[in-house]
Amino acid sequence: MGFSLEGVGLTHANGFRALHDVDLRVAAGERVALVGASGAGKTTLLRVLAAALRPDGGQVSLLGMEPWTGSPAALRRLRARIGLVHQAPPIPPRQRVVTAVLAGRLGQWPLWKSLASLLYPLDPEGARHELARLDLGERLYERCDRLSGGQLQRVALARVLYQQPDLLLADEPVSAMDPALSELTVALLNEEAIRRGVTLVASLHAVDLALRHFPRVIGVKDGMILFDMPASQVREAQLRELYAAEGGVPMAGVAAAADVAAPPPLRCI
Amino acid sequence: MMAEVRRDPAALSRLGWALVALVLLWPLLRLADFQPGVLLDEGNLRAMGHFIGGFLPMETSHDFLTLLGKAMVETLAMATAGIALSLLLAVPLGLAMTRALSISRIGPGRQAWIGTLVRALVRVLLAVLRGIPELVWALLFVRVFGLGATAGVLALGITYGGMLGKVYGEILESTDGRAARGLLEAGSGRIAALLYGLLPQAGGELVSYTVYRWECAVRASVVMGFVGAGGLGQLMDQSMKMLNGGEAASILVSFLILVLAADGLSEFLRRRLA
């Protein structure tokens, strides 16, 4: 129940060719990090995996379904089972945190429940539970425009955790957080994927975070897969090639080697 | 890879359209026979002064004020009922018109033409509804329902339904659609995406436009009163025909009060929603 891409290519409406002939097979329960320079195609790849972008060539199979051959209703049900943490949290500034988190289950709830929850939150404890894991439990009834960028990113993450997707995708989920918090958050994503046995794919700007937390690392360059291997086998020369255009390999750089052996304690309830 | 572009590719067309607008504006002003100088002509100034002078002193007799109060309530009721009726048309049509909630835009891709066709038809329907002025609808309905507010309410409901529907659709479309899109991509339905993604951002603007239209409806119901649709307009019509300037002045002051009240209400609602 993982996913597979075969010969997937995608050209954006402005003519930019974002993905070239991508082959990728990920089994259920695998945890994969995507690394690569900005503009390499990581976001496009994640959006294809979220069934949000339709490739113009190749075969896509997600959670055992082909999203672009079935009915619109089947596609909608599939989308409800996939959770994507966006890089820029798509949350209206005036919405309250509780509503923003509960919105994660709109794809599963019947319409009457979505409407009723807007008038009076139906599952505030569920939302509080996910927020508490991200250390935001006490901000439940605040408005999202009162939060910092990093806090908003954690609210967006709490929404996807609340959605409980079978395929968990994250597009630079820690880009607005400081190194220590990034470490905790990436560890939490991995812990969630292991606990629920779901597939996790996250793109990360900081390569060291990817190498520390994910068993499998994929390097994306110019819309193609440059390497795809266990994290332990990634060599510095490959990373240099991956980031040749940026003139250096980006690192979060807070955790020393000791932290890798014993990750910091997490709030996993 | 795209070819490198050295100049701003939009500059030339922007300049072109600005020039076209200027060239079109001049003959339009000539055609409209726009001659503001006539306003300052001595004879005209005297005529206007005489007309305005007739408005004073204002009529404040108890009987007239009772009549005025009754007409004011009738006008308010007509405008409010008209707006309520127009919402029944505008909300579904506005939603149908907006592209922001189009699921076919994020895939499945097939049958996208159905959505495009529906949106085009709704656009035409809204244009027809608001293209015929409410005065014409009122003249039509007065023949059916006789003198009174029913004709005015129906006329307002139809015309304003067309206006509100168009503007609702456009407000929703110009709202940042990423939140709604994110929800649709996570399998949410259209109405849920509207309520959780678009309304939190567009709500203030929708409310303020609706209240502004309610204010316009108050004025429009006055105009329709002239053709027998009741309210302040009918009263104004009688006063003007009897050349009673004092009464007309009192009626004008009550318009002003209504407009200021609408403004205050709009401000209050916007602050609550901010």
pLDDT tens per residue across span A45-65: 999 999 999 898 889 999 999
Range of the domain at A129: 88-164
Q: Which of A112, A137, A164 finishes a domain?
A: A164
- Using a pLDDT cut of 90, give the percent of chain A over it: 62
Span of A56-65, A125-134, A244-253 with lowest mean pLDDT? A244-253
Q: Do A70 and A24 contact (CB within 8 A), yes or no?
A: no
Treating both helix axes as pointing N-terminal to C-terminal, what angle do B149-174 and B134-145 enclose, rounded to 10 degrees? Answer: 150
Q: Which of B236, B233, B214, B235 is nearest to B224 (CA)?
A: B233
Q: Do A100 and A91 contact (CB within 8 A), yes or no?
A: yes
Residue A186 and residue A63 in one domain: yes
Q: How far apart are CA B159 and CA B161, in angstroms?
A: 5
Nearest to B107 among A54, A94, A114 (CB): A54
Q: How far apart are CA A172 and CA A127, in angstroms?
A: 22
- At residue A201 the predicted structure's pLDDT band, cuts being 50, 70 and 90, is very high
Q: Which of A164, A199, A221 finishes a domain?
A: A164
Q: Are residues B188 and A106, on separate chains, in Cβ contact within 8 Å?
A: yes
User: What residues of A are in contact with residue B109 (Cβ under 8 Å)?
Assistant: 54, 68
Q: What was the pLDDT predicted at B61? A: 82
User: What residues of B are in contact with residue A94 (Cβ under 8 Å)?
Assistant: 200-201, 203, 274
Mean pLDDT, residues A82-93 taken together: 92
Q: Are residues A108 and B197, on separate chains, in Cβ contact within 8 Å?
A: no
Q: What was the pLDDT predicted at A269? A: 42
- At residue A268 the predicted structure's pLDDT band, cuts being 50, 70 and 90, is very low
Report the CATH number that the domain containing residue A31 is assigned in CATH: 3.40.50.300
Residue A51 and residue A172 in one domain: yes
Read off the amino acid at residue B210: T
Q: How far apart are CA A135 and CA A128, in angstroms?
A: 10
Query: By CB neighbour count within 10 A (0-12 exposed, 13-18 middle, 19+ buried), where does B29 fall?
Result: exposed
Identify the bridge partners of residue A19 per DSSP, sorted by sequence position: A10
Report the CATH number that the domain containing residue B70 is assigned in CATH: 1.10.3720.10
Residue A97 and residue A66 in one domain: no
Residue A133 and residue A47 in one domain: no
Output A9 or A252, whichever has higher pLDDT: A9
- Using a pLDDT cut of 90, give the percent of chain B over it: 16
Mean pLDDT, residues A179-201 taken together: 93
Distance of CA A158 to the CA centre of its chain: 12
The residue of chain B with its CA nearest to that of A89 is B179
Nearest to A92 among B2, B108, B201 (CB): B201
Non-local (6+) Cβ contacts of B211 within 8 A are: B262, B265, B266, B269
Span of A167-181, A222-236, B22-36, B168-182 with lowest mean pLDDT? B22-36
Helix, strand, coil: what percent of chain B each, to 5? Answer: 80, 0, 20
Range of the domain at B268: 60-95+130-175+201-273
Is B137 within a domain? yes
Q: Which of B248, B268, B267, B200 is nearest to B54 (CA)?
A: B248
Residue A105 and residue A231 in one domain: no
Residue A252 and residue A182 in one domain: yes
Best B4, B195, B198, B199 residue to mutate vs chain A (most A CBs within 10 Å): B195
For residue A166 the two structure tokens come to 């079978």
Q: How many domains does chain A have?
A: 2
CA distances in angstroms from B236 to B77, B218, B245, listed in the order given: 17, 14, 10
Helix, strand, coil: what percent of chain A each, to 5? Answer: 40, 20, 35
Residue A188 and residue A250 in one domain: yes
Mean pLDDT, residues B103-116 taken together: 68
pLDDT tens per residue across span B177-206: 889 999 999 988 888 999 999 998 898 889
Q: How far apart are CA A219 and CA A33, in angstroms?
A: 8
Residue A14 and residue A54 in one domain: yes
Nearest to B187 among A54, A68, A80 (CB): A80
Q: Which of A103, A134, A164 finishes a domain?
A: A164
pTM of the model: 0.78
Output B198 or B108, whichever has higher pLDDT: B198
Q: How many domains does chain B have?
A: 1
